[in-house]
């Protein structure tokens, strides 16, 4: 069921118009940016990545101008400089999949293989070193995450994982799969936990977007060397649960 935000019922015309204009911008923007990313395929990866980052920043600005969606980030000091990490974050909407590419250092993340065939957006994403998986084959997906994720970390890229596996309602946290924590345990790279409440203003599966400020909390580094996968996963999950309660308050 679509989770509707009812706190703006007295200004729904603004919400409908803003959401419609934003949707149009969201559809058109990949057509404008994707060709530049694809044409830069022979050039260094960071050139393509930075064009994609400009696209992400453009989408965030469109969300602010059209829908009144802003964001604030707490814990930026926890972002390590010049060091790759694995991000474990809760997942509530498409907002974080876009915003992380603008807020965080260069990264890769898991993508459904079928999405890379989408015109323009998917074609551009295919050039940005995604970890493309088939969700119907969990064992193969896990092997890809471990092998390609480790390779990306060695290249200095962050690896973003949403361990809930799907977008959840704003007031719920799904059970954490162990894939991201296993990548940390096997690679020896640390974990950075992130909590957010994007679903409050950009609800999952909803066309409508609501004005407000999305809150993002970036947690301290979680060491992985010499630790069990389950322990890494639980520490990240516990931190995110507590951070979500703090955001809610």
- Among 115, 112, 156, which Cα is nearest to 131's? 112
Q: Cβ distance 166 to 174 under 8 Å?
A: yes
Q: How many percent of the chain have pLDDT more than 90?
A: 87
**pLDDT tens per residue across span 105-156:** 999 999 889 999 999 999 999 999 999 998 788 889 999 999 999 999 999 9
| Direct distance between the N- and C-terminal alpha carbons of the chain, in angstroms, rounded to an integer | 25
Exposure pattern of 219-244 as b/e (b: 16+ CB <10 Å)? beebebeeeebeebbebbbebbeebb
**pLDDT tens per residue across span 68-116:** 999 999 999 999 988 999 999 999 999 999 999 999 999 999 988 999 9
pTM of the predicted model over 0.85 = yes
Mind giving me the DSSP string for 26-57?
HHHHHHHHHHHHHHTTTS-HHHHHHHHHHHHH
Query: How buried is 198 (Cβ within 10 angstroms: 0-12 exposed, 13-18 middle, 19+ buried)?
Result: buried
d(CA 239, CA 124): 34
**pLDDT tens per residue across span 14-41:** 999 999 999 999 999 999 999 999 999 9
pLDDT of residue 5: 53
| Residue-range domain boundaries for the chain | 9-248
What 3-state DSSP class applies to 149?
helix
Residue that is written with structure tokens 């729904």 in the block: 12
Topology of 9-248 in CATH? Glycerol-3-phosphate (1)-acyltransferase (3.40.1130)
- Among 220, 155, 218, 160, which Cα is nearest to 184's? 160
Other CB atoms within 10 Å distance of the CB of residue 65: 13
């Amino acid at each position: 069921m679509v989770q509707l935000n009812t706190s703006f019922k007295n200004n729904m015309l603004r919400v409908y118009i803003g959401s419609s204009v934003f949707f149009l911008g969201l559809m058109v923007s990949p057509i404008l940016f994707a060709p530049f990313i694809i044409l830069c395929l022979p050039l260094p990866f960071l050139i393509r990545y930075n064009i994609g980052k400009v696209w992400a920043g453009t989408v965030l600005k469109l969300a602010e101008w059209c829908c009144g969606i802003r964001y604030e980030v707490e814990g930026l000091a926890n972002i390590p400089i010049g060091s790759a990490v694995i991000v474990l974050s809760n997942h509530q909407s498409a907002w974080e999949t876009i915003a992380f590419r603008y807020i965080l250092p260069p990264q890769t993340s898991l993508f459904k293989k079928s999405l890379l065939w989408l015109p323009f957006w998917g074609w551009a994403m295919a050039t940005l070193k995604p970890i493309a998986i088939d969700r119907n084959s969990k064992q193969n997906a896990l092997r890809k995450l471990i092998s390609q994720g480790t390779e990306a970390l060695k290249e200095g890229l962050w690896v973003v994982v949403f361990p809930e596996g799907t977008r959840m309602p704003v007031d719920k946290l799904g059970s954490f799969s162990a894939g991201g924590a296993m990548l940390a345990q096997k690679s020896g790279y640390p974990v950075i936990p992130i909590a957010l409440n994007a679903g409050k203003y950009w609800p999952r599966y909803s066309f409508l977007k609501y004005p407000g400020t999305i809150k993002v909390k970036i947690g301290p580094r979680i060491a992985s060397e010499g630790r069990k996968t389950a322990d890494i996963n639980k520490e990240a999950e516990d931190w995110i649960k507590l951070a979500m309660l703090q955001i809610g308050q």
